[in-house]
A and B are shown apart, each in its own frame.
Chain A
Amino acid sequence: MFFSVMDETAEPLCERMATDLDDGFTELVRVHASAVHAFLLRMTGNAAEADDLGQETFLRAYTALQEYSAQRRRALRPRAWLMTIAANVWRNHVRTCVRRPVAAVSVEESCESWAAEGPGPQDHADTVADRALLVAALARLPERARVAVVLRHVVGMSYAEVAEVQGCPVGTVKAQVSRGLSVLREVLEPEVALLREVTM
């Protein structure tokens, strides 16, 4: 029913994990490392933390895969499964260091250093300032909305995949994403949002 970007590569990947775990896992890391890292970077707002949590995510994934039967590995949908682990690792991390203030200042700092890494997909964002604004606004979204927005629009997963990660119906995810986007739009395009309010 759903054909996401990764589905063509998913099937041989699972087959490989089922027959030869080390080889399949290597391929899993190659294909999905960037997505996991990008997700965690946007959730933590800090490159060093994203790096640590990313390592933790793949370590857990590998440990879990060792326990799984070949059949279960074959039936896996790797990207959604990995993101579920990453989201759990991130929530645990937030819980353990809840006494320390997370994010806020470090978000703005780290996003600026990150944006300076030369041209690339970030050309979409008009200026570094706009980008910093967006990253900061993203960091202020409520947790579940942020997970949904990042998975849907930064990582580029389908609503069905996001629903699998969030463990809730697809409709709920769509609502979370749409609400999250309207908050971001207000921050980024205040005139447009104002216009919309006036005309509606």
Chain B
Amino acid sequence: MNRGGKWTPQPESGVEAALAGLMGPAPGDFAARVLHRVGIPRDRYDLYLHLDAPAGGLYVAYGTDAVTGAALGTALSGPQAFEEAHRARTGRSAIPTTRPLPGLRTALRTGRARGLAIDLPELTEAERAALDAVRTIPRGQLRPLAWVAREAALPDSAAVTAALVANPVPLLIPCHRVTFDDGGPCDLRYGPIAGEALRRAEGVDEALVGLSRAGTVFLGSDTTRIYCHPTCAHARRITPVHQVPFRSARDARAAGYRACKSCRPIAA
């Protein structure tokens, strides 16, 4: 028998195991209702829940009116791991709930999370600038590190990669839409498998990603003489016979093409 203080599950006896099996989690929002009833001000803690999303769903924590953290389900062992990671990062407790922040479910379903309020006070100025730039990448499109650096007015891509590694709100800040400058996916936060699942769910054309890998960084149209990032909505409309691949912006300029005004490829 177990005479010391340390409690360990005892699989040898059916009754003890069955009793341990009676310990379940409290109902969905029990803890949140306790805090509400006790009268703890709402700005002292974050609520969180697990929402449907590719790559194991998404844990999302939010404060009074903005998202404060998230994690992919595949990256964690369970809700408790999320609670502890959130506490360690923000110093705030994440309390389970069943009600999402208004707009959150829609943002996840449509992949358009640019308008969602996200509050990350613990980030540095440069990290916030980089992640804000990442948020402007439209659903289903990819942008290279250098593009993010330019949009965020950062001196080089090193600051961008640092921000991507730190990204505390994966998926809602779509770092899976960032590629290396050669076009290869840059999944620094959660690895290529989850990244690919997220891109596939957005319908990113793998053929275009392959095109980038083969050395084509930009795609031009010989009817409009405009060049784009290959995943730009305008580039995807170019029919195969009119597609003109370019290895660099300089090549495109030399061929007499101008840069697309919506995806704003970097000028040479």
Contact = CB atoms under 8 A, between A and B. Distances in A.
B267 interface: no
B14 interface: yes
A149 B19 contact: yes
A111 to B, nearest CB: 9
Interface in B42-77: 44-45
A107 B124 CA distance: 54
Contacts of B45: 23, 26
Q: For the side of the interface on A, what is the size category?
A: 35 or more
A154 to B, nearest CB: 5
A25 B6 CA distance: 26
Contacts of B30: 33, 37, 51, 54
Contact of B5 (A2, A55, A135): A2
Interface in A117-136: 117, 120-126, 130-131, 134-135
A4 interface: yes
B193 interface: no
B5 A1 contact: yes
Given A26-B45, A59-B37, A51 B27 contact: yes
Interface in A1-39: 1-5, 22-23, 25-27, 29-30, 33-38
A153 B16 contact: yes
Given A4-B6, A134-B18, A23 B44 contact: yes
Interface in B23-45: 23-27, 30-31, 33-35, 37-38, 40-41, 44-45
Interface of A: 1-5, 22-23, 25-27, 29-30, 33-38, 42, 47, 51, 54-55, 58-59, 62, 114, 117, 120-126, 130-131, 134-135, 138, 149-150, 152-161, 181, 184-185, 188-189
